[in-house]
Amino acid sequence: MTASTTTRRSEPPLVVDPPPLEPAAAGGLDRRLRRFAGVAGWVLIAGIPVTMFVLFFFYPVGSLLGRGLAPGGALDLSGLAEVAGKPRVQRIALFTVWQAAASAALSVALGLPGAYLLYRCRFRGRTAVRALVTVPFVLPSIVVALAFRTLFAADGPLGSWGWDGSVAAILAAHVFLNYAVVVRTVGASWAHLDSRPAEAASSLGAGPIRVLFTITLRSLLPAIAAAFVMVFLFCATSFGIMLIMGGSRYGTLETEIFRQTAQIGDLRAAAVLSILQLILVVAVLVVAAAVRRRGEATLRLRASVDLAHSLRWSDWPAVLVTSAVGVLLAAPLLVLVVRSLQTPTGWGLGNYRALTGTGESNVLVTPVTDALAYSLRAALLAAALSVLIGVLLSVVLARRPARRAARRAVSGLDAMVMLPLGVSAVTVGFGFLIALDSPPLDLRSSPLLIPIAQAMVTIPLVVRMVLPVLRAADDRLRQAAAVLGAGPIRVWWSVDLPIMSRALAGAAAFAFAVALGEFGATSFIARPETPTLPVVIGRLIARPGSVNAGMALAAAVILAVLCALSVFLVDFATGGRRGEPGVGGF
Amino acid sequence: MLEIRDAGITFAADKRVTLAVRNVDLDVPDRSVLALLGPSGCGKSTLLRAIAGLEALTTGRISWDGTDLAGISVHRRGFGLMFQDGVLFPHRDVAGNIAYGLRRTGLPNQEIHSRVGDLLELVGQPGYGSRRVATLSGGEAQRVALARALAPRPRLLLLDEPLAALDRSLRERLLADLGSVLRSTGTTAVFVTHDQGEAFAIADMVAVMTSGSIRQVGPAAEIWARPADAWVAGFVGYSSVLDAQAAAAVGSTVPLGSGALALRPAALRLDPGGPLTGRVTLVTPAPDGLVLTVRINGVGEVKAIAATDVPLAVDDLVRLRFDAAGAAVVPGRDDLVSGPLVG
């Protein structure tokens, strides 16, 4: 580079008359045309996701609610009060709330020491531990349920605790699944938390405990609250865990919706329960938003400063708690793997070999390996679909338009995207079943039905992972690009896309893992001849037979490995371990 | 040539309307540098962003060579913009940043490559092309940002306090380099700063701005010699403004008309044979002498200078002599402030 410059120095390279300014504003028509094209572009970008949501979310869910609330075509709300007044419904609603609150509180209590240890301390192998802690979160709920049932079963390693089918076991499974949510959400804030207020408090005479509670945790409150809310929502809508571990004694609104639709066939009760659940979720989100608005100002972060310190003796409580949690995280998985290698005839891979068959007394229509292949294809499609739609949505949602009408449209779209998080997957699945079975939308036999249903579950997750990165990006980068002559498309391509590429890759992998393990919606719409792996596991454990039980364990191990691998490979390939922005090909 | 006529910008947020810029008229002829000088929050950066196309005017118009810019979006204006801190693209290396604006020109890769080299040499960072942006120091990042802004040969370069984030010695060095780059490339530029030293060093014309409006436009020497009002005088370094009576009391014979007399510290010198007597209230050492704050009866507190080797203490009585070279006449249409100016 330097060689070529020295030879070219003779001519003054920069004194050049700039090209003439295009008289863009010569006529008002051109300006109006360009503006119209701009608006049309935005409408088109937003229109694809909106159409998708209308067809595959609002229409099916609306049909289900409509059949429940307006059975004869006329709205009949008398059922609302009647169903909501039933003691069983009230008991289930109460249980849903308190078990979710307890699970969230436990997760936070156990997760805070972990967040401190993994994001504020430095020690050998920290990256590996961080990665391992995330594994449970990406595991399908049915795998986790099976692992915990095996652990606490009467003949299991912890059978003597008598936790089989107990609330304690359910809470343990929920903590297992959501521990990483707390560690990562709180840890990300803790890593950059300004330590100077805490130092100021110490110098004013506050002891370490007082500093922890009055300064550090107080400053982290927004992150803690966010983690609590997320875990609460995940547990309140928990389906796989409750269905398999709760048995007939414990149920959430979600499992009750499943019972009412799939087993009893009372659509009215199901519709009312769906509405109850939606109200619960929206109420929690509204409270959470209010808390966040109040708390955000208190969080003082210092970006791009490494504030971690080496382990100190005073860190022993955090080390102790986190090690104990590590055992809780490892035990069920170990038991699952060990039991999957146990066959009626001794140790071996018999259970895995049996996966090429259809199980004891042929409880399955197709071999499990076929289901595995089908699951992978469907999850891949679902991930691709949710990334595509998620990117389109993030393009629109990252904008902060100046005009009020446009701003309203953006926030309306934001709310629409998050709605599937609040509506039970079971409702979506059953809605698909009853709404998409007649022309013009007869998708019963379409291979796209399951991927689309799974994508409706994963799109909000993709948006939630990508959008914060885009919103946090310095807007002046886009302005700098525009001033240098880049039009809107090139600005997106050369600034937004590289900024979000790592988050997007992570979101794609996460969407794949979630779609692969999706159980609530898929269990309704999977046809017997094309089941997904979670559905197969569900069928195997619902039937008697030691061969079937062994096959379920083996299938669960495979499913767990696939989910964990997909997330890790992407994280690794995009340089997440080094904390760098993804490989810069742009 | 850039022309700004009756430009006004208002912000409406939370039901409060803020007038950020009002009634601004400015011309920037080709190949000249205009400095927009004013305290923080005076609207100078907002005006600059409006020229770039990043803010919309509420009233008035901005045009280039007679073409109204209102309908032309940011990326079609062909202007350059430099921020306070580089705002380099973190996912591109130095060469990738500089080449960004060249893509549109359709130059062959070879040409882009050599041009990037030329620009790096121009800004004094030869061979930095393959460096990662994160490894640059603040000064290096600003040099690269300057190269990036100059690369597409902008018809107008907009600089938004480009040196404010740097420490003092670096700022002075970069200021000198920036000035020579702008002159050697013949770039038309608008330079926003709150530092009068920067403004006067780099600009052909200085526009002094406060509370959203321009108080005075002119060459640096003219603003020094004839500040338009007491506020401008204070902002560019005059320490006191005296009314006619006080001016007479310090021994000034400068004809004031209805105006007032603005004094720099150098307008009053310590002189054992001087006609004025004052009591020292503060002694501040400066590089080439002492700056005294002195209370003179009938005048109030004013600044004066003394040689370093004079032993002085607070409450000493000193004798002073007026030197018209350190004073300027301020036209008397504004509200007059007597005594030292604050801020």
Cis peptide before A440 (omega within 30 of 0): yes
Where is pLDDT greater, at A419 or A492? A492
Q: State the pLDDT at residue A583.
A: 25
Query: Inter-chain contact B116–A1, Cβ cutoff 8 Å?
Result: yes
With contact defined as beta carbons under 8 Å apart, do A437 and A445 qualify? no
Flag if A482 and B154 touch (Cβ within 8 Å).
Answer: no
A275 to A519, B54, B271, B322: CA distances (angstroms): 21, 45, 91, 86
> CB of A132 within 8 A of CB of A572?
no
- At residue A22, the pLDDT reads 62
The arithmetic mean of pLDDT across residues B251-274, rounded, is: 86
Highest mean pLDDT among A2-16, A368-382, A406-420: A368-382
The stretch B100-123 carries a mean pLDDT of 86
Quote the pLDDT of residue A300. 53
Query: Is A10 an 8 Å CB contact of chain B?
Result: no
CA distance A24 to chain B (A): 6
Which of the 8 DSSP states describes residue A136? H
> By the 8 A CB rule, do A574 and A502 touch?
yes
A5 contact B CB<8A: yes
Cα separations in angstroms, A401 against A42, A265, B247:
11, 47, 56
* Ramachandran sector of residue B31 (left: φ over 0; alpha: ψ -120 to 50; beta: rest): left
Q: Measured on CA atoms in the order B67, B69, B70, B72, is the torsion positive or negative?
A: positive
Cα radius of gyration rounded to whole Å, chain B: 24
Q: Is the pLDDT of residue B279 over 70?
A: yes
Distance from C-alpha of B155 to C-alpha of B158, rounded to nearest angstrom: 10
pLDDT digits over A304-331, tens only? 556 777 888 888 888 999 999 998 899 9
**Please, are residues A382 and A511 in contact by the beta-carbon 8 Å criterion?**
yes
- Chain-chain contact of A18 with B87 (C-beta, under 8 angstroms): no
**Letter for the amino acid at B161?**
E
Which of B79, B89, B102 to probe by mutation at the A interface, max A CB count within 10 Å? B89
DSSP state of A56: I
Nearest-angstrom CA–CA distance, A520 and A453: 10
Please state, in angstroms and rounded to a whole number, the distance separating the CA atoms of residues A149 and A163.
9
In angstroms, rounded to a whole number, what is the distance separating the alpha carbons of residues A83 and A63? 19
Q: How would residue A578 be classed by pLDDT, with cut points 50, 70 and 90?
A: very low
Distance from CA of B242 to the nearest CA of A (A): 45
Best B91, B98, B103, B181 member to test A by mutation, with max A CBs in 10 Å, is: B91
- ipTM > 0.95 (yes/no): no
> In this structure, what DSSP letter does residue A470 have?
H
Least confident of A259-263, A437-441, A563-567, B57-61: A437-441
pLDDT of residue B2: 94
Contact A391, A501 (CB under 8 A): no
**What's residue A378's pLDDT?**
95
Prediction pTM value: 0.80
pLDDT, residue A95, reads: 93
Contacts of B45 in chain A (CB under 8 A): none
Chain B residues whose beta carbon lies within 8 Å of the beta carbon of residue A4? 113-114, 117
Give A170-173's long-range contacts (Cβ < 8 A, gap of 24+): A170/A99, A170/A103, A170/A241, A170/A242, A170/A245, A170/A246, A170/A250, A171/A99, A171/A102, A171/A103, A171/A106, A172/A148, A172/A328, A173/A144, A173/A145, A173/A148, A173/A241, A173/A245, A173/A332
| Measured distance between the N- and C-terminal CA atoms of chain A, rounded to whole angstroms | 20
Q: How far apart are CA A208 and CA A511, in angstroms?
A: 41
Q: Which of B67, B95, B186 sits opposite A21 (nearest CB)?
A: B67
Residue B115 and residue A13: Cβ atoms within 8 Å? yes
Does A418 have pLDDT greater than 50? yes
SS3 A285: helix
Distance CA B219, CA B222 (A): 5
**Strands of the B339-340 sheet, one edge to the other:** B327-330, B260-263, B240-242, B339-340
Q: Which stretches of A278-420 are assigned E, i.e. beta strand? A: 309-310, 342-343, 346-347
Q: Are B205 and B194 in contact (CB under 8 A)?
A: no
Q: Are A329 and A133 in contact (CB under 8 A)?
A: yes
Contact yes or no for A8 and B114 at CB 8 A: yes
Of A195-199, A409-413, B281-285, B332-336, where does mean pLDDT reach its minimum?
Answer: B332-336
Beta strand pairing call for B156-160 and B189-193: parallel
Closest CA to A545 of A363, A356, A273: A363
> Chain B partners of A499 at a C-beta cutoff of 8 Å?
91
Q: In this complex, which of A1, A477, A488 lies closest to B127 when CB atoms are compared?
A: A1
For residue A382, what pLDDT is reported?
95
Question: N- to C-terminal Cα distance for chain B?
Answer: 35
Kindly report the average pLDDT of chain A as a whole number: 82
The mean per-residue pLDDT over the stretch B232-241 comes to: 89
A&B contacts, CB < 8 Å: 138
Burial class (CB in 10 A: 0-12, 13-18, 19+), A518: buried
* Spatial distance between the Cα atoms of B262 and B247, rounded to a whole number of angstroms: 9
Judge whether B129 is closer than 8 Å to chain A, CB to CB. Answer: yes
Of A226, A150, A38, give the one whose Cα is nearest residue A553.
Answer: A150
- Residues of chain B contacting residue A9, judged by C-beta atoms under 8 Å apart: 118, 121
**Minimal Cβ distance to B152: which of A31, A484, A499:** A484
Cβ atoms of A288 and A225 within 8 Å: the answer is yes
State the pLDDT confidence band at A485, using cuts at 50, 70 and 90: confident
- Check pLDDT > 90 for residue B272: no
Residue B307, pLDDT above cutoff 50: yes
Q: Is A441 left (phi over 0), alpha (psi -120 to 50) or beta?
A: beta
pLDDT for the residue numbered A97: 93
What's the pLDDT score for residue A223?
86
Scan for tokens 């997007």, then name that residue. Answer: A504
Q: What is the pLDDT of residue A15?
A: 41
In this predicted model, what pLDDT tens digit does every residue of A353-367 receive, in sequence order?
Answer: 888 888 777 778 889
pLDDT tens digits, B126-137? 999 999 988 898
Q: What is the DSSP letter of A73?
A: S
Residue numbers in B near A16 (CB within 8 A): 153
Tell me the residues of chain B between 69 and 108 that have a Cβ less than 8 Å away from chain A. Answer: 69-81, 83, 87, 89-92, 95, 100-101, 103-104
Q: Is residue B125 a contact partner of residue A20, using CB atoms and an 8 Å limit?
A: no
The angle at the Cα of A455, spanning A561 to A465, to the nearest 5 degrees, equals 75
Predicted local distance difference test score (pLDDT) of residue A579: 39
Cβ distance of A581 and B100 shorter than 8 Å: no
Lowest mean pLDDT among A130-134, A318-322, A482-486: A130-134
Is A4 within 8 Å of B113 when comparing Cβ atoms?
A: yes
Span B153-175, average pLDDT:
89
Q: Does B178 touch chain A (CB under 8 A)?
A: no
- Does residue A274 have a pLDDT over 60? yes
Closest-CA distance, B200 to chain A, in angstroms, reads 24
Flag if A480 and B89 touch (Cβ within 8 Å): yes
Any idea which residue has 């045009």 for tokens? B63
Among A461-465, B49-53, B63-67, the least confident range? A461-465
Residue of B75, B77, B119 lying closest to A486 (CB–CB): B75
Contact A1, B95 (CB under 8 A): yes
| Mean pLDDT value across chain B | 87
As a residue count, chain A comes to 586
Residue A144: Cβ within 10 Å count: 27
Distance from CA of B34 to the nearest CA of A (A): 19
pLDDT-based confidence at residue A8 (cuts at 50, 70, 90):
very low
